[in-house]
Amino acid sequence: MNNLNSIVIEGNLVSAPETHVISNAPSMCKLTIANNRFYVNRAGETVQETSYFTITAWGPTAEACSKYLDKGRGIRVVGRLKQDRWLDADGKNRDKIVIVAQHIEFKADKKPRNPKEGPSSMNLEDKSPEETQLIVDSLSDELEEEAEMPMSI
């Protein structure tokens, strides 16, 4: 029986998406987001805590991320945690927790982009919330099987 493994997280992309084409596998897109948390410490000062997370998306979701997302864009990710393990050059065991995306919502841009900059500058602001959700939902339907693909880059 599977244990519960689910995460919902929001953040802003710290760099442009990295798309990788792997032979005999669907496209893979790697994203890194910054997630900010604010709290008040004992001295009454507001403190910002920033954490960075790596996210992988597969297939049509990866392709949509590559096409529509740029550095700074806000996203909300629903997915699962996965622990990648490997041996480094010194033979030491290494590991990293990544988020495997099952659903990604694109948050509205704070500033409009110039459409002459190319496809990566396109956004969904001109779409209604219903249209945007349909696009994202249609992409995530095929993701479940593809999300099980091992990452080998």
DSSP state at residue 108:
P
Is pLDDT of 145 > 50? no
Per-residue pLDDT tens over the stretch 81-108: 999 999 999 999 999 999 999 999 999 8
Could you identify the residue written with the tokens 């995530």? Answer: 140
Percentage of the chain beyond pLDDT 70 is 71
**Domain 7-145 CATH superfamily:** Nucleic acid-binding proteins (2.40.50.140)
Structural element, H or E, at residue 92: none
Tokens for 63, please give them.
Answer: 């392709």
Mean pLDDT score of the chain, rounded to an integer? 82
- In the chain, where the domains are located: 7-145
pTM comes to 0.68
109 in Cβ contact with 46 (< 8 Å): no
